[in-house]
Amino acid sequence: MKKRFASLVLVILSTSLCQTFAQSVSLSKSIYQPGEQIIVNYAGFPGNSRDWISIAQVGMPEDKYLEWFYTGGNRNGTLTFGGRPYGNYEVRGYYNNEGIVRVRVPFRVGNADQNLSVKTAQPVYKPNEKIIVQYSGMPGNSRDWISIAQPGSADDKYLSWYYTDSKQSGTTEFTGLPEGSYEVRAYYNNEGVVRSRYSFTVSRTPVVNQPAGGKLCNRELSIFYAGVYGLGLAWARLGSDVIAPGTIADVQAVLGNAITGLNTIGCLDFNVNKISDYTRRLPGMSRAQAVNEIDALIKEILGSIQRSRISCSNGVSLASLYSIGIHLGASQGIANTFVCRMIPADWQQNLRNHLGLVRDGIAAYSSCIPGVSPSLVNAVDVSSPNAYIPFSTIVSIHIQVLWSVSLSSCCCSCP
């Protein structure tokens, strides 16, 4: 079990002091266009002339690859790989001509309509009310763009539009519109081909958020899980980290993903505009106010899930998946705050509490993610001298849950 789990750890720590940092490979984005060059940054390698980095398809044996380069004895640097066709891949780092993967990071080429999402924050707007559009899963090109158009118009026709400015997820604000039916559209790299669209209405008649019905399967559930994981991460960062501009910016980014995730579940009576409002007011809040308000939002969302009467395959509940995401995200947030030092005793206990709820959530949802065992949580070394060790283990568990949900045949249904 130890050997199997070790292969999933994303970052291998040096045995020297923290200032040498962890070995890492990183990408500027997680989704690439077919044929687009892939630039890999690496850091903290031992400095052997035959340390090497490869690109492989997910699932390939550790000593197999599609393309590779030696680091040339450099500890830190950048390598440029050729473009790949549609598919799921990972960058892998190795030491001194070995065939053992020491560090890896996944990425995807092409969206293939799996994780791309674009929609308005609410299904109905009043005339001339500002329209908030949320998007995620974009490739990250500087000229990816979002438009609002009339339904039935040609793909390259629009009423208004904005570039995403290389962002893969985020929020865009459009000016208000007169009464009528519209759709928001997503495009890649200045193309005129609609990749995703979402219908909404502008009406003077107030509309209560009604259950949308429909089936929620691996695509919707994986977006939902990723979104609430970000919500948990924000919760813990605000409670444990220094409230600096960088922390606020990180929290605001993941809260945008939380809105996208919650919007995939059409039958919740929770108003996601509450998160948008919280995000906007966050820079002016004290720590106590920020933590208390996000804590209340998390509880309110759980209540909405419980009231929704959503039924899922194999008797699992959406509330269990929500619990995994919230508390695993919170666990990462705590470990992230104390990287390069030991987690203080009070926060160790806080982390253990979150991990216990993660374990319970995985056990309750296990029939839909059979490849993820509740016992994985036991491998998180909460009392390690360096919080990077529990941090990397937590991230590894998150990746396993996300992949398992995205590949699961389980579905949930709104009443």
CA atoms within 13 A on the CB side of 205: 4
Mean pLDDT for the stretch of residues 348-363: 95
Query: Who's near 106: CB < 8 A, 6+ residues apart?
Result: 30, 58, 88, 89, 90, 399
Give the 3-state secondary structure of residue 290.
Answer: helix
- Both 302 and 393 in one domain: the answer is yes
Question: Where a domain ends, among 109, 133, 148?
Answer: 109
**What mean pLDDT is predicted for residues 265-288?**
86
Of 202, 237, 253, the last residue of a domain is 202
pLDDT in tens, 109-120: 875 445 677 889
Domain that holds residue 255: 215-409
Query: Which amino acid is residue 216, in one-letter code?
Result: L
What CATH number has the domain bearing residue 32? 2.60.40.1930
Question: How far apart are alpha carbons 144 and 295 in whole angstroms?
Answer: 35
**Residue 415, in any domain of the structure:** no
Among 79-83, 97-101, 152-156, the range scoring the smallest mean pLDDT is 152-156
Nearest 5°: phi and psi at 165?
A: 55, 45
User: Using an 8 Å Cβ cutoff, are 301 and 318 in contact?
Assistant: no
Give the integer Cα–Cα distance in Å for 43 and 27: 12
Model pLDDT, residue 45: 92
The reported pLDDT for the residue numbered 205 is 59
* Same domain, yes or no: 184 and 224: no
The Cα–Cα gap between 330 and 326 comes to: 6
In this predicted structure, what is the pLDDT of residue 208?
A: 38
Share of the chain above pLDDT 90, in %: 46
149 and 31 part of one domain:
no
Residue 159 within any structural domain of the chain:
yes
Query: Span 70-98, mean pLDDT?
Result: 90
* Counted domains in the chain: 3
- 131-167 CB burial, b ≥16 within 10 A, e <16: bbbbbbbbbbbeebbbbbbeeeeeeeebeeeeebeeb
19: pLDDT strictly greater than 50: no
Q: In what order do the strands lie in the sheet with 311-312?
A: 215-216, 412-413, 311-312
In a domain, 104, yes or no: yes
Hey, what amino acid is at 109? Answer: V
Q: Mark whether 236 and 195 lie in a shared domain.
A: no
CB 52 within 8 A of CB 71: yes
Residue 210 lies in a domain: no
Mean pLDDT is lowest, of 71-80, 95-104, 165-174, 211-220, for 211-220
Is the same domain home to 265 and 372? yes
Asked if 121 and 26 touch (Cβ cutoff 8 Å), the reply is: no
Rg (CA), the chain: 22
- Are the C-beta atoms of residues 263 and 223 closer than 8 Å to each other? no
Name which of 313, 220, 218 is nearest 262 in CA terms: 220
